[in-house]
Amino acid sequence: MVDILIFVYENFFASGIYPAHAVLQNRLFAAGFEAGEVEEALAWLDDIDQIGENAHDDTLTHSVSQRCLDSSEFERIGSQGWGFLAFLENNKILIPRQREWILAGVMALDEPEVDLERLKLIVLMVLWRQGNPLDALLLEELIHYQDWMLQ
Quick one: DSSP state of residue 36? Answer: H
Mean pLDDT of the region 112-126? 87
Dist. CA 84–CA 44, nearest whole Å: 22
pLDDT digits (tens, 9 = 90+) for 65-106: 678 889 999 999 999 999 999 988 888 888 888 888 899 889
Checking if the pLDDT of 147 tops 80, the result is no
Give the domain extent around 140: 2-150
pTM of model > 0.95: no
Predicted local distance difference test score (pLDDT) of residue 12: 83
**Among the listed residues 80, 78, 150, the one whose alpha carbon sits nearest the alpha carbon of residue 112:** 78
pLDDT digits (tens, 9 = 90+) for 21-65: 899 999 999 999 999 999 988 988 888 777 655 554 555 555 566
**Tally of helices (H runs) and strands (E runs) in the chain:** 7, 0
Contacting residues for 141 by C-beta, under 8 A, at least 6 apart: none
Residue-wise DSSP of 17-72: -PPPHHHHHHHHHHTT--HHHHHHHHHHHHHHHHHHHH---GGGTS--SPP---HH
Which is more confident, 108 or 131? 108
pLDDT-derived band at 148 (thresholds 50, 70, 90) equals: very low
Q: Residue 77 carries which side chain, given as an amino acid letter? A: I
Number of domains in the chain: 1
Angle formed at CA 97 by CA 19 and CA 116, multiple of 5 degrees: 70
Predicted local distance difference test score (pLDDT) of residue 47: 80
Contacting residues for 40 by C-beta, under 8 A, at least 6 apart: 1, 110
Which is more confident, 12 or 52? 12
